Amino acid sequence: MKSALTVLNEQIRNFFLARRLSLYEFRSAATGSYLGAAWEVINPAIQILIYWFVFGFGIRQREPIGDIPYFQWMFSGILVWFFINQGIMRGTKSVYSKIKMLSKMNFPMSVIPSYVILAQFYPHLILLGLGILVLQFTGYPVSVYYLQLPIYTAILLVLLLGMTLITSTLATIVRDVQMFLQSIMRMLLYLSPILWPPTLLPESWQTAVKINPFYYIVEGYRYSLLGEGWYFLENPVYTVYMVGVVLILFMIGSALHVKFRSQFIDFL
């Protein structure tokens, strides 16, 4: 608990610094190419079309998910997955790839994963805005249920910070963690109900799927963007579980980070 409070205090005190660094990170990623930041939208768009063709036309043969066409169902869920994937992967390698910045700037190491995650949040907002326009013109207009989106976004940001505090610490000590995690994230895309509905599984297995915290975020986005209802209110037990998982991961990540950060330089 003490470590969690330490890291939380560091995040609050250095919030504006993290915001400035995240903007620099976002802009620097766009340099060196003609299309610049447009690639943050082009790459996801290409992947969405591929998934739609393979799963929508090939495997499911354009069958809807309940009353929702497959494209809109898949599209509303996968929008947040790109942020999850990039946030975890880049946050994991953030400490050992950017620790040299500490020799030029004086700020806590726990700020490094947070500003890297925040840098990935900007493309997510751009993609989300374009996604809302697509849904608007395909039969799913903006509704009052959009008001719950900030809840899932806030939960996701804390979840990503907690997870990357863990993974960035482990990846700094053992670099193989980065490659292992990359394989895990690829598997999670196909094992999580993002491209296929959980109703395809036996009922007993559907409960097991909900152990995956990303499922809650994806479904929350779907309920919001497709106007299906108030997900966090309709699933109160699952919401409490999710908050508990986020807090536990943040405390574990904080404890690991605070314990080993004085030794990070020895592993570089």
What's the pLDDT at 163?
A: 93
Least confident of 37-41, 91-95, 110-114: 37-41
Burial 28-62 (b: 16+ CB within 10 A, else e): ebeeeeeeebeebbeebeeebeebbeebbeeebee
Highest-confidence segment of 27-31, 54-58, 226-230: 226-230
pTM value > 0.95:
no
Cβ neighbours, 10 Å, residue 191: 13
What's the pLDDT at 42?
A: 75
The domain segmentation of the chain, as residue ranges, is 2-267
What's the pLDDT at 101?
A: 67
What average pLDDT does the chain have? 84
C-beta of residue 245 within 8 angstroms of C-beta of residue 213: yes
For residue 168, is pLDDT > 70? yes
Highest-confidence segment of 4-8, 30-34, 42-46, 88-92: 88-92
Distance of CA 252 to the CA centre of its chain: 18
Q: What percent of the chain has pLDDT over 70?
A: 90
Q: Report, as an integer, the average pLDDT of 42-46.
A: 77
Q: Report, as an integer, the average pLDDT of 142-164.
A: 93
- Confidence bin at 154 (pLDDT 50/70/90): very high
Torsion of CA 190, 232, 135, 120, to 10 degrees: -60
For residue 37, is pLDDT > 70? no
Tokens representing 56? 């929508």
> What distance in Å separates the CA atoms of residue 192 and residue 145, rounded to the nearest whole number?
24
For residue 102, is pLDDT > 70? no
Highest-confidence segment of 7-11, 29-33, 125-129: 125-129
- Confidence bin at 247 (pLDDT 50/70/90): very high
Residue entry with tokens 């610490």: 169
> What distance in Å separates the CA atoms of residue 8 and residue 141, rounded to the nearest whole number?
37
| Higher pLDDT pick, 200 / 117 | 117
